[in-house]
Amino acid sequence: MKISISTLPFYPQPMEAILDYVTGLKQGYCEIINEYPHDNLEFHVLDTYNLEYTIHAPLSDMNVASHNERIRNSSIAEIKKSMDTANKLGSEVVVVHPGHTPILGRKLDAKIMEYNMESLRECSKYAQDVGVSMCVENMPDIESLLFKDLNELNELILDIDAYMTLDVGHAHNNGFPIDEMLKYPRIKHIHLSDNDGSYDSHHALGNNKDDNGLDFNSLLGRLEKLKYEGHLVVEVEEPSAVTESMEYLSNYLHV
């Protein structure tokens, strides 16, 4: 397992400052959220760090399921741009969010799902063409977001020939137990954060001391038995939660 750190808790600090911090933690992996101000990455700067990168396609103002064709096509173009970036960096994984239902799209459920499928299929084909793996992420329990259910997401990725980013915090927020989270054969990438089940708070690992938080000892033990070899990305809300999470992981994985 490769312990990686997301740029999310440091956003929107300059990339050099973020990478200095990650390097200072003596970790060799970083996941870059590829949107402003980190939308046009300076490869010569990234290459000066002894890090292996994964790329997270933009989160904001994106909707591959939009019933507005220009918004939909623009979202697809942004994802493809992130795939090109990953290819140039030698990054295997690009994390992609599925679409969401627009306000007036609630009356067009079937059409929204059709647009979503068509868009993600196009992105998956492009990923294969440029030699990266598109890993579609399960969403938290927030109204209008699609593919909160891991079973539905699994059906999608099998249909479009892609892979899954399992966000364990999102899955916990939707009531999935750990055994259920890890049963999908196309899990290629994992995001780590904690919450109490009621909200996707992106707390530090082990932050919820009561019985409502994730059982990370069980999760990590299961991943070892499964011989999971992908990235475990610490994707928390604040820089202090990164340090807390790394201390938690060090007690288990000796990282």
What pLDDT score does 107 carry?
Answer: 76
Q: How confident is the model at residue 105 (pLDDT cuts 50, 70, 90)?
A: confident
Q: Tell me the per-residue pLDDT of 8-39, one tens digit each, with 9 for 90 and over.
A: 999 999 999 999 999 999 889 999 999 999 99
pLDDT(187) > 70? yes
User: Domain of 104: which CATH number?
Assistant: 3.20.20.150
d(CA 43, CA 54): 13
What single-letter amino acid sits at 117? M
pLDDT(104) > 80? no
Which comes out higher in pLDDT, residue 106 or 143? 143
Number of structural domains (the chain) is: 1
pLDDT cut 70: percent of the chain above it:
98
What pLDDT score does 254 carry?
Answer: 52
Which comes out higher in pLDDT, residue 210 or 55? 55
End-to-end C-alpha distance for the chain, whole angstroms: 10
What are the backbone angles phi and psi of residue 168, rounded to the nearest 5°? Answer: -70, -30
Distances (CA, A) of 103 to 74, 125, 143, 232: 19, 29, 10, 34
Q: Tell me the per-residue pLDDT of 132-164, one tens digit each, with 9 for 90 and over.
A: 999 999 999 999 999 999 999 999 999 999 999
Cis, bond preceding 37 (omega within 30 deg of 0): yes
What pLDDT score does 30 carry?
Answer: 98
Structural domain containing residue 162: 2-253
What pLDDT score does 255 carry?
Answer: 47
What pLDDT score does 210 carry?
Answer: 65
What pLDDT score does 209 carry?
Answer: 64
Burial status of residue 74 (CB atoms within 10 A of its CB: 0-12, 13-18, 19 or more): middle
